[in-house]
Amino acid sequence: MSTQNRTEHGEPGRDTVAGVGEFGLIRAITEGRVQPPTTLLGPGDDAAVVAAPDGRTVATTDVLVQGVHFRTDWSTPEHVGRKAVAVNLADIAAMGATPTSVLVGLACPPETPTELVTGLTAGMWAEAARARVGIVGGDMVRADQIVVSVTALGDLGGRAPVTRSGARPGHVLAVCGRLGWAAAGLAVLGRGFRSPVGVVNAQRYPEPPYAAGPAAAVAGATAMIDVSDGLLADLGHIAKASDVGLDVLTDRLRVDQRLVEVGSALGADPLHWVLTGGEDHALAATFPSYADLPEGWYQIGTVLMPDTGVTVDGRPYEGPAGWEHWR
Reported as a single tens digit per residue, the pLDDT across 261-279 is 999 999 999 999 999 999 9
Q: How many angstroms separate the CA atoms of 156 and 162, rounded?
A: 10
Q: What is the pLDDT of residue 46?
A: 79
Helix/strand/coil (H, E, C) string of the chain?
CCCCCECCCCCECCCEHHHHCHHHHHHHHHCCCCCCCCEEECECECCCEECCCCCCCEEEEEEEEECCCECCCCCCHHHHHHHHHHHHHHHHHHCCCEEEEEEEEEEECCCCEHHHHHHHHHHHHHHHHHHCCEEEEEEEEECCCCEEEEEEEEECCCCCCCCCCCCCCCCEEEEECCCCHHHHHHHHHHCCCCCCHHHHHHHHCCCCCCCHHHHHHHHCCCEEEEECCCHHHHHHHHHHHHCCEEEECHHHCCCCHHHHHHHHHHCCCHHHHHHHCCCCCEEEEEECCCCCCCCCCEEEEEEECCCCCEEECCEECCCCCCCCCCC
318 versus 215: the higher-pLDDT residue is 215
- Residue 12 in this model has a pLDDT that exceeds 60: no
Reported as a pLDDT band with limits 50, 70 and 90, residue 2 is very low
- Residue 325 in this model has a pLDDT that exceeds 60: no
Residue ranges for the binding site for ATP? 138-139, 164, 228
Reported as a pLDDT band with limits 50, 70 and 90, residue 304 is very high
For the chain, domains (ranges, CATH) are 17-155 (3.30.1330.10), 172-316 (3.90.650.10)
319 versus 166: the higher-pLDDT residue is 166
**How does pLDDT run across 63-113, given as a tens digit for each residue?**
999 988 898 899 999 999 999 999 999 999 999 999 999 999 999 999 999
Strand partners, 223: 286
For residues 169-187, average pLDDT = 97
User: Is the CB of residue 181 less than 8 Å from the CB of residue 256?
Assistant: yes
Residue ranges for the binding site? 46, 60-62, 69, 91, 138-139, 164, 226, 228-229, 279, 323
For residues 153-172, average pLDDT = 97
Residue ranges for the binding site for Mg(2+)? 46, 60-62, 91, 139, 226, 229
Q: What percent of the chain has pLDDT over 90?
A: 78
Reported as a pLDDT band with limits 50, 70 and 90, residue 3 is very low
Q: What is the pLDDT of residue 321?
A: 73
Residue ranges for the binding site for substrate? 69, 279, 323
Q: What is the pLDDT of residue 6?
A: 52
For residues 204-208, average pLDDT = 96
